[in-house]
Structure 1
Amino acid sequence: MVPLDSPVFSRRRALTSLAGTAVAGAALAAGARPALAADADGPALPEERAGGLPLVIHNNSGEFANRNVHLYIVGSRGDRQVRVTRRGTVEPVKVSDNKDNGFTDYAIPLDARGTTRIRLPHMSGRIYVSLGGRLKLKAVQDGAGRPALQHPAGWVKNDPNFPVLHDFVEFTHNESGMFCNTTMVDMFSVPLMIRLSGNRDQTTGTMRQGGRARIFRAMENTPGFGKLVVGERRVIAPSHGLDAGRFGKHYFDPYIDKVWQAYRQQPLHVRTVAGAFTGRVDNGKLTFHGPATVSFAKPSTRDVLFCDGALAAPNDGVTGPVAAILGAGFNRSTLLSHPKQPTTRAATFYKPEITNHYARAIHAQMGNGKAYGFAFDDVAEWASYIQDTQPQAMHLTLTPF
């Protein structure tokens, strides 16, 4: 994982930074073993208690007692991968932290009753919760020889954490404030809500009563999406489902073909923070002219679901914003019906038969309609993201199943 140092948190950067760790996790689970240097553990970090943001954990799951809930706060600070202790101190990830079973023990237990309070230091990362069992996180050596943490890959059947009920939220806490979100980009398992108090009181991730069960049922009853459901544990996102053989590799192809055909005949207008662009398909590429000229090759179903490949969004302020709007338009299936993008009204999303029904089902069960169902779900501000430049406290709630 690389640090998320931007004061404006971006889920897209989080996905990029965490993807390598997840892939490493899958490879290790499959049997690969990196060579670990004897001096792989770096020097200890100084303890940091002062200035930490109060983090309050509420277990309202109704399914699991506090003793069966485990918390993990892991991520990066600067160029070091770190974890938070029960005391609220930040410690470097060390290969020597692996115990006799081959995994670390970074779990933070909840207090026996009521809420649990921790101090959250300056860092970027994830807050994992596991229910009923502990996560198996392995400290390894990355390609640069530095200690790194192998994150769970709940969509990989032979990952050691596949049987464990778990989920996570993402955050960046730095001098500029707190920037955080719930996410279902990889999978959906545990309904989690974030409350952030500071300049104002904000919440995100609040699910409608019975929403978890309705998401599972919706996927089971939607043709092509049923194999994404893993018992009562989780629903895997169709992107990872595709790679795991649980979702059709060509699902979006007919819609992609129609988009490419439509914009050979008419222009596609895209408005971004950089200005207005007008595009047409020419010589097989969708080429936009405006503040700059940017082109996109015809994407695959995998590109659409991962918002990557032909739809990759570099942090350049020009191609990136156009790519994000295209990615959202494909996942929401609004590109054919709306030649002016981005569309902002949720009532227009997910209408065709070919659409990201996984994201549709999740958004339908959120109290405010906002969720991270795919990587570019922040287009038009429909993502479950909140921030505060003067945070006073963060609350993470396991809401009823």
Structure 2
Amino acid sequence: MITRRTLLGGLAAGAATASGLALAGRAAGTQAPAGRAAAGLPLHIVNASGEYANSSVWVYIVGNDGTQQVHVTPDGELKPVALADNGPDGFTDYAIPLAATGTTTLRLPQMSGRIYTALGAKLRFKAVEDGNGKAALAYPAGWVASDPNYDVLHDCAEFTYNSGGMYCNTTMVDMFSVPLAIKLSGAKEQTTGTLKDGARAKVFADVRASEGFDRLVIGDKRVIAPGHGLDSGLFGKDHLAPAIDEAWAAYASKDLTVTTNAGTFTGRVSGGKLTFTGPGTVSFAKPSTRDVLFCDGTLAAPNDGTLGPVAAVLGAALNRSTLAAHAAQPTTDPAAFYQERLTNHYAKAMHAATLDGKAYGFAFDDVAGWASYIEDGAPKELTLTLTPF
């Protein structure tokens, strides 16, 4: 199974300059040659926002074809990013306008990437040179006040489409702004990401009301994830430290078991490190608040089948505040999630907002299947809907 942590393997270089995500993984398989129109998968864009007319909404499809960064033209052509694409203002214009009325249907070539929606104004993607001298894109970073897209209402969904099928998700890992839903039709019909009526406003209100999280709400434009808030000085760098300390103390005198596809690991804390034995020996220094929120640092998850899966389970348990009280992980019952005062209230608000209870509030939210992620090995069409505000 491809998860969000592997499906965007091609998004390095310029994307990494804008995103705080650790998106390691595999390439997108057999791709249509860049610069040639592909048959592609029908992609339907439905504007049901109720706030913006089609004429004020633009779509951007950007990502990687396995060898280089690319963008998709309105007619479904896959084209490489080029420095020459920057216009007189210093930015590219890869915007795809919506149809004058009704549903807009595009063709999605095989690639890994993101589908951005911009409302009220266009986004400004800048073509830059990456560390290998290749052209790449600096992606929008709505959590950075100096970013040229900070004042633009925008959001995105993510996908990998290759010979194996379609793998896609809505994401709130960086921020939440525009309510989006995806429907994948193929071997079966699947939908995720749909918010309950009035849930956008409730997310803003719930995060604003949570102790220490209030400054993550940026007017009525977006709520930024607490990890980015921490980096921007809007969230306490030690906010989760007491909860992390409690979990580490709990397993100094008893076992913690973590079950993954590789088997069951048994761990104890000694000398400040949580060390597991079992299918392999893996060890973790006590993580910081930032490590937990980004699921990185001491909780970084390599795609190695041993350390990575255990790190993912620990990261999920710490974000969901289940680690100290549940000695058998992963915890799978959502009724146990986010019950402590010190928890990821941002992710909690996002899960409470969706009809299916699923969201990508942090990078390891796919643990136990609670991410807004769907896949199909025989896809026929994909629909991205801007749902009511």
Aligned twin of 2:248: 260
Q: d(CA) in 2 for partners of 1:21 and 1:222?
A: 34
Q: How much has 1:17 moved relative to structure 2? A: 6.0
Distance 1:60 1:213, change over 3 A: same
User: Pick from 118, 126, 141: which aligns with 2:114?
Assistant: 126
Aligned twin of 1:83: 71
Q: d(CA) in 2 for partners of 1:150 and 1:333?
A: 34
User: Pick from 51, 55, 61: which aligns with 1:73?
Assistant: 61
Q: d(CA) in 2 for partners of 1:124 and 1:236?
A: 24
Q: What letter corresponds to residue 45 of structure 1 in structure 2?
A: A
Measured against aligned partners, the alpha-carbon deviations of 1:20-46 in whole angstroms (never above 9, x if no partner) come to: 5355349xxxxxxxxxxxxxxxxx934
1:23-34 equivalent positions in 2, closer than 5 A: 24-25=17-18
* Pair 1:305-2:298 in alignment: no
Normalised to the residue count of structure 2, the TM-score between the two structures is: 0.95
Q: How much has 1:82 moved relative to structure 2? A: 0.4
* Pair 1:9-2:2 in alignment: yes
Question: Equivalent residue of 2:184, what SS?
Answer: strand
Question: Which consecutive residues of structure 1, in runs of 5 or more, have no partner in the other structure?
Answer: 1-7, 27-43
Q: How much has 1:14 moved relative to structure 2? A: 5.5
Q: What letter corresponds to residue 77 of structure 2 in structure 1?
A: T
1:239-278 equivalent positions in 2, closer than 5 A: 239-278=227-266
Question: Equivalent residue of 1:255, what SS?
Answer: helix
User: Pick from 36, 41, 46: which aligns with 1:47?
Assistant: 36
Q: What letter corresponds to residue 111 of structure 2 in structure 1?
A: M
Aligned twin of 1:288: 276
Normalised to the residue count of structure 1, the TM-score between the two structures is: 0.92
User: Pick from 149, 153, 172: which aligns with 1:161?
Assistant: 149
Distance 1:14 1:231, change over 3 A: farther
Question: Equivalent residue of 1:264, what SS?
Answer: coil
CA contact (8 A) 2:272 2:286 kept: yes
Measured against aligned partners, the alpha-carbon deviations of 1:273-323 in whole angstroms (never above 9, x if no partner) come to: 000011000111000010111000110000000000000101000011100
Q: d(CA) in 1 for partners of 2:13 and 2:317?
A: 26
Query: For the aligned residues, what is the CA RMSD?
Result: 1.3
Aligned twin of 2:22: none
Percentage identity across aligned positions? 61
CA contact (8 A) 1:22 1:153 kept: no
Q: How much has 1:19 moved relative to structure 2? A: 6.9
CA contact (8 A) 1:263 1:281 kept: yes
Q: d(CA) in 2 for partners of 1:253 and 1:46?
A: 50
Measured against aligned partners, the alpha-carbon deviations of 1:363-391 in whole angstroms (never above 9, x if no partner) come to: 00100100000000000000000001000
Q: d(CA) in 1 for partners of 2:283 and 2:372?
A: 30
User: Pick from 33, 51, 59: which aligns with 2:47?
Assistant: 59
Question: Equivalent residue of 1:265, what SS?
Answer: coil
Aligned twin of 1:143: 131
Measured against aligned partners, the alpha-carbon deviations of 1:166-186 in whole angstroms (never above 9, x if no partner) come to: 000000000000000000000
CA contact (8 A) 2:7 2:112 kept: no
Aligned twin of 2:27: none
Q: How much has 1:223 moved relative to structure 2? A: 1.2
Stretches (4+) displaced over 4 A: 14-20
Question: Equivalent residue of 2:251, what SS?
Answer: helix
Q: What letter corresponds to residue 162 of structure 2 in structure 1?
A: N
Measured against aligned partners, the alpha-carbon deviations of 1:330-378 in whole angstroms (never above 9, x if no partner) come to: 0000011110000100000000100000000110010010000000000
Question: Equivalent residue of 2:201, what SS?
Answer: helix
Q: How many residues align?
A: 376
Aligned twin of 1:363: 351
CA contact (8 A) 2:13 2:136 kept: no
CA contact (8 A) 2:9 2:112 kept: no
Q: What letter corresponds to residue 257 of structure 2 in structure 1?
A: H
Question: Equivalent residue of 1:288, what SS?
Answer: strand
Q: d(CA) in 1 for partners of 2:141 and 2:163?
A: 31
Aligned twin of 1:176: 164
Q: d(CA) in 1 for partners of 2:34 and 2:193?
A: 33
CA contact (8 A) 2:10 2:65 kept: no
Aligned twin of 1:323: 311
Question: Which consecutive residues of structure 2, in runs of 5 or more, have no partner in the other structure?
Answer: 20-32
* Pair 1:189-2:177 in alignment: yes
Q: d(CA) in 1 for partners of 2:160 and 2:129?
A: 24
* Pair 1:225-2:216 in alignment: no
Q: How much has 1:49 moved relative to structure 2? A: 2.7
CA contact (8 A) 2:11 2:64 kept: no
Aligned twin of 1:393: 381
Aligned twin of 2:24: none
Measured against aligned partners, the alpha-carbon deviations of 1:250-293 in whole angstroms (never above 9, x if no partner) come to: 00100111111111011101111000011000111000010111
CA contact (8 A) 1:25 1:159 kept: no
Q: d(CA) in 2 for partners of 1:196 and 1:138?
A: 31
Q: How much has 1:9 moved relative to structure 2? A: 2.6
